[in-house]
Chain A
Amino acid sequence: DTGVSQDPRHKITKRGQNVTFRCDPISEHNRLYWYRQTLGQGPEFLTYFQNEAQLEKSRLLSDRFSAERPKGSFSTLEIQRTEQGDSAMYLCASSALGSGAEQYFGPGTRLTVT
C-alpha cells in the first residue's frame, strides 16, 4: 500500500463555484478523517467516518460542506458556493480501529478561492 492519497493536489476556483476533493485511505483502515489547515496553524478537525458511517462533525463544517464515504473506502469532501475564507489545505487521514491509533495523513489538497 502506498499510503493515503488525495486528489487533486491543488485547486483554484472562483468564489461561488462548487469543488469536490477525493481521499483514498490505506485499504485496511476503517477510520477516515478530514481536517483543514490554514497557514501557520495546526490542522482543525472537520469530520470522521468509521466505515461508511459519519460519526462526528465539527461546528466548522457549515451547511456548505458535505462529506461522504459511500462504500467505506474512498471519501469525498464537497464545498458548495465557495468563499474566499475556504482557502486552505484540506487534509485527509486514516487509521485502524482502537483508541490511540496512529493517523496516517495524505499530502493534502490546497484550495485557493479567488
Chain B
Amino acid sequence: DAGVTQSPTHLIKTRGQQVTLRCSPKSGHDTVSWYQQALGQGPQFIFQYYEEEERQRGNFPDRFSGHQFPNYSSELNVNALLLGDSALYLCASSLRSYGYTFGSGTRLTVV
C-alpha cells in the first residue's frame, strides 16, 4: 500500500519564479494538509483541503495557494518566490482521524 507520494523530491528555483508541488494521498485518505519545515524547525501548517475546498489556513501569505482534485490529490503553488521560502514542504493525508501520514517532502531551494 503506497503511502503519501510527493513530487518532485528536490527543486531549485530563482527568486520571483513560481513553483507547483504535487501530492498523492495515502489510499483511502480524503484530507490533505500542507506544511512548511524550515531547516532546524518544526513543520508549520500552511493549509488543509477536504472535499476540494480549503478548510483551514495557517499564517501564510496569499502567494501560497492550493488545490485538491476529485481523486483527492493536491497541489501547492507558491508565486513570487522569496529566499525565505526555501524549506522542506510536507504533505500529510488523513481520513478524518488522528494520525496524519506524511510524505517524504519536496525540498525547495530558492536562489
A and B physically associate: no
Q: Spell out A's residues near B (CB within 8 Å).
A: none
